[in-house]
């Protein structure tokens, strides 16, 4: 299929991927008086007295803001706020379809981080959580840090943390298959943007030794001898004579690519240790194609960011479920404990038997089980909702982020299961 041509045709036909649907009847005088004036005054006054009532008397409890400035749209770069709207609408679709979260996309035409921050802060009372999206580095760090510090609702820059979570889940499963200890492996990260930095920090939190992780930007290896590093890159500087990817990859166990297509050659791949783990996540063209990597080495554990790869690392496997849990617990923040819970929960789903319905969508995995060709769950695996959301909700409670603890876990899981079953129905 020509995805570019067909997608353009369908976007013209759809004229948008989300819409607003009323939840209440508006058929007579009493309906109008209850939903609007004069009856609506009473819930307004209750919220004025206690803002927490907004979660009980409005849809805020289930609403997530998807917001961008369009400065780093996946595979396209700085195309501007409005041009990024189709991507943001797509995120809103995933939120609703996979986790029943009502997400609204807002495209902010502001190149100044402080202006962007002020806009988001001003509209934040509408929402129970905020998903920052497609904002370039280093502005994204300032924006997320400031909003997390100054607002009391969950905030996550998905390009950073969503990528880190699903990559972390893939890493621990791939290492298990390869029979390698995370504390012993050498990791090469090609790319030094927001996602690469977040993934590298996640790998270190999972057990990779900082001195065993080598990062490269467009100028080569980030080493202690360089004098052109900002504070974010400087954190990863290592004492080494290596300067190029070809030198860095020699004897590596893991390659994580968040850079540009075609930079990892078969010759470089052959320099890696036995059972190399390669996550080539550049889009639309990975650092090395799935087919070329598998043809070069039969022992490679390979994943890309593309939907047509046998093993795909995709943020859609995590962000709907993390936000579902954050909203359900009315969390004050999105913290490290919640992210780590998501990593291990996602990893566990890949070890479950592959069910027939999933094979209907992915025929290539029929007859497979957890192993070299299947170690990351597919984004449409309905068990992600019922596994990840409870794990993250529990972490939110245990870490003190939750305002509204889950009182009945059986009822909560049953509610999630009912929605998960409804996904299968349609």
Q: Please give the positions annotated as active site.
A: 36, 91
User: Hey, what are 426's tokens?
Assistant: 């349609």
* Three-state DSSP state, 95: helix
- The answer to whether the beta carbons of residues 203 and 171 sit under 8 Å apart is yes
Please name which of 333, 339, 374 lies closest in space to residue 355, comparing C-alpha atoms: 374
Distance CA 83, CA 9 (A): 17
Dihedral-angle region of residue 334 (phi above 0 means left; psi in -120 to 50 means alpha; beta otherwise): beta
Distance CA 41, CA 57 (A): 12
User: Beta strands 102-107 and 63-68: pairing type?
Assistant: parallel
User: 131 - beta bridge partners?
Assistant: 66, 156
Q: What angle do CA 94, 97, 354 make, to 5 degrees?
A: 95
- The answer to whether the beta carbons of residues 163 and 199 sit under 8 Å apart is yes
Distance CA 258, CA 68 (A): 20
> Exposed, middle or buried by CB within 10 Å (0-12, 13-18, 19+), for 348?
middle
Distance CA 359, CA 33 (A): 50
- The answer to whether the beta carbons of residues 28 and 69 sit under 8 Å apart is no
Q: What angle do CA 407, 408, 413 make, to 5 degrees?
A: 125
CB-based contacts of 79-86 (< 8 A; 24+ apart in sequence): 80/109, 81/107, 81/108, 81/109, 81/110, 82/107, 82/109, 84/133, 84/134, 86/11, 86/17
């Amino acid at each position: 299929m020509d995805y570019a041509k067909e997608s353009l045709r369908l976007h013209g036909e759809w004229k948008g991927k989300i819409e607003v649907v009323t939840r209440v009847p508006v058929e007579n005088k009493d309906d109008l008086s209850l939903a609007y004036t004069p009856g609506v005054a009473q819930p307004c006054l209750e919220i004025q007295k206690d803002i927490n009532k907004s979660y009980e008397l409005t849809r805020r409890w289930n609403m997530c803001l998807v917001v961008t400035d369009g400065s780093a749209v996946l595979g396209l770069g700085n195309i501007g706020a409005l041009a990024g709207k189709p991507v943001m609408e797509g995120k809103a679709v995933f939120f609703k379809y996979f986790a029943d979260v009502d997400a609204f996309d807002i495209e902010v035409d502001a190149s100044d981080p402080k202006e962007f921050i002020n806009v988001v802060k001003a509209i934040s009372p509408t929402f129970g959580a905020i998903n920052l999206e497609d904002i370039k580095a280093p502005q994204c760090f300032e924006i997320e840090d400031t909003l997390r510090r100054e607002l009391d609702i969950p905030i996550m820059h998905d390009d950073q943390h969503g990528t880190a979570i699903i990559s972390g889940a893939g890493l621990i499963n791939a290492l298990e298959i390869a029979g390698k200890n995370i504390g012993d492996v050498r990791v090469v990260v090609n790319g030094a943007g927001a996602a690469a930095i977040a993934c590298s920090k996640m790998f270190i939190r999972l057990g990779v030794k900082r001195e065993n992780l080598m990062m490269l930007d467009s100028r080569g290896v980030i080493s202690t001898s360089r004098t052109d590093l900002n504070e974010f890159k400087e954190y990863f500087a290592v004492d080494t004579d290596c300067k190029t990817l070809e030198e860095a990859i020699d004897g590596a166990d893991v390659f994580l690519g968040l850079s540009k297509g075609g930079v990892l050659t078969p010759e470089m791949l052959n320099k890696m240790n036995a059972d190399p783990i390669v996550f080539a996540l550049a889009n639309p063209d990975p650092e090395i194609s799935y087919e070329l990597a598998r043809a070069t080495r039969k022992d490679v554990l390979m994943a890309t960011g593309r939907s047509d790869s046998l093993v795909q690392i995709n943020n859609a496997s995590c962000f709907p479920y993390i936000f579902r849990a954050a909203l359900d617990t009315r969390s004050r923040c999105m913290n490290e404990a919640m992210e780590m819970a998501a990593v291990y929960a996602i990893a566990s789903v890949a070890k479950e038997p592959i069910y027939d319905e999933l094979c209907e969508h992915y025929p290539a995995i029929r007859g497979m089980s957890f192993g070299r060709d299947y170690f990351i769950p597919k984004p449409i695996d309905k068990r992600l909702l019922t596994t990840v959301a409870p794990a993250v909700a529990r972490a939110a409670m245990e870490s003190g982020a939750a305002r509204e603890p889950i009182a009945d876990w059986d009822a909560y899981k049953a509610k999630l299961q009912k929605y998960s079953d409804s996904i299968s129905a349609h």
